[in-house]
């Protein structure tokens, strides 16, 4: 039984489809009732509607999933939103929404579902971060901060529950060909790197769960950027300013 958030579209919908194709029972959670139901009908998943920017929604979603379906063996926290622009001009309510959806909701869901996983001695928490959380991105400081928070949360939780039988993983993709960029208020305008398909991210996510892989950057070559940032930060910043 796998709970997938953000399952009404994009990466979440692709993950729900990939899991269902591999025989998993999927609880597809999304904010848009009609879109979530369409994904459920297409994949055989159970549709759960929740707006995870609501402070009470993550706990309520976890409780509903367990109460209606008995248990949750794995969480895939893929719901997220972005915003591009100057921090000085960013509406505070938008800042709050990014933190609520991208960071707080995965943490609360993990907190709510972890006791059952620990009691059974098996389970998985899989978080969708971003290359932005490993490197930083100009004009996306809040988004990058929320994704960086997921990376450090995962590492800390992994150390905390080591040996429990519960895995904790993070997949950090680069640009993905979804409606994310339209919703963030600015289209993806780079010629390189080209956005990857959500189906590729979904396969990577499910493989990471099955193989208990802890940290995956997609595509793999993008992993060079955070390594350069760590080893030669001044050089990295010069390159980042030049390349945008």
- Burial string for 82-109 (b: 16+ CB within 10 Å, else e) reads bbbbeeeebeeeebebbbbbbbbbbbbb
What is the pLDDT at residue 192? 73
Residues with Cβ within 8 Å of 218's Cβ and at least 6 positions away in sequence, in order, are 171, 172, 173, 174, 196, 200, 201, 204
Which residues have C-beta within 8 Å of that of residue 16, sequence separation ≥ 6? 4, 7, 26, 28, 39, 43, 45
Burial of residue 47 (CB within 10 Å: 0-12, 13-18, 19+) is buried
CA of 20: how far to CAs of 23, 27, 39, 86, 243, in Å? 5, 10, 11, 40, 40
Please check whether residue 75 is in contact with residue 125, taking contact to mean a CB–CB distance below 8 angstroms.
yes
Place of tokens 């309520």: 60
Number of domains in the chain: 1
Structure tokens at 225: 């950027």
**Helix (H) / strand (E) containing 210:** helix 198-211
**Helix, strand counts (H, E) of the chain:** 11, 7
Task: State the Cα–Cα distance between residues 74 and 86, nearest whole angstrom.
Answer: 37
Structure confidence at residue 244 (pLDDT): 62
Q: Does 236 participate in catalysis according to the annotation? A: no
Q: Report the run of H or E that residue 2 belongs to, with start and end.
A: strand 2-5
36 within 8 A of 48, measured Cβ to Cβ? yes
The residue annotated as part of the active site, out of 9, 26, 143, 204, is 143
Spell out the per-residue pLDDT of the chain, length 244, in tens: 999 999 999 999 999 999 999 999 999 999 999 999 999 999 999 999 999 999 999 999 999 999 999 999 999 999 999 999 999 999 999 999 999 999 999 999 999 999 999 999 999 999 999 999 999 999 999 999 999 999 999 999 999 999 999 999 999 999 998 888 777 777 777 777 888 999 999 999 999 999 999 999 999 998 998 998 888 888 888 878 876 6
pLDDT in tens, 114-130: 999 999 999 999 999 99
Give the domain extent around 88: 2-243
Q: What is the pLDDT of residue 243?
A: 65
Our measurement of the distance from residue 31's CA atom to the centroid of its chain's CA atoms, rounded to an integer in Å, reads 15
Q: What CATH number is attached to the domain comprising 110?
A: 3.40.50.720
């Amino acid at each position: 039984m796998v709970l997938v958030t953000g399952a009404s579209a994009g990466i979440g919908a692709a993950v729900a489809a990939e899991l269902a194709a591999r025989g998993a029972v999927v609880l597809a959670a999304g904010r848009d009732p009609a879109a979530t139901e369409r994904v459920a009908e297409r994949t055989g998943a159970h549709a759960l509607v929740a707006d995870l920017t609501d402070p009470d929604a993550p706990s309520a979603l976890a409780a509903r999933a367990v109460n209606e379906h008995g248990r949750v063996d794995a969480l895939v926290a893929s719901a997220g939103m972005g915003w591009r622009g100057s921090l000085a001009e960013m509406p505070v309510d938008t800042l709050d929404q990014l933190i609520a959806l991208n960071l707080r909701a995965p943490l609360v869901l993990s907190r709510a579902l972890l006791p059952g996983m620990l009691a059974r001695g098996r389970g998985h928490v899989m978080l969708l971060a971003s290359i932005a959380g490993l490197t930083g991105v100009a004009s996306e400081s809040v988004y990058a901060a929320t994704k960086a928070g997921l990376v450090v949360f995962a590492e800390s939780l992994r150390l905390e529950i080591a040996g429990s039988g519960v895995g904790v993983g993070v997949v950090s993709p680069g640009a993905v060909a979804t409606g994310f960029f339209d919703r963030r208020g600015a289209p993806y305008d780079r010629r390189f790197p080209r956005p990857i398909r959500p189906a590729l991210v979904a396969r990577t996510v499910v493989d990471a769960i099955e193989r208990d892989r802890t940290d995956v950057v997609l595509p793999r070559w993008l992993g060079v950027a955070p390594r350069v940032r760590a080893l030669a930060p001044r050089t990295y910043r010069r390159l980042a300013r030049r390349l945008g």
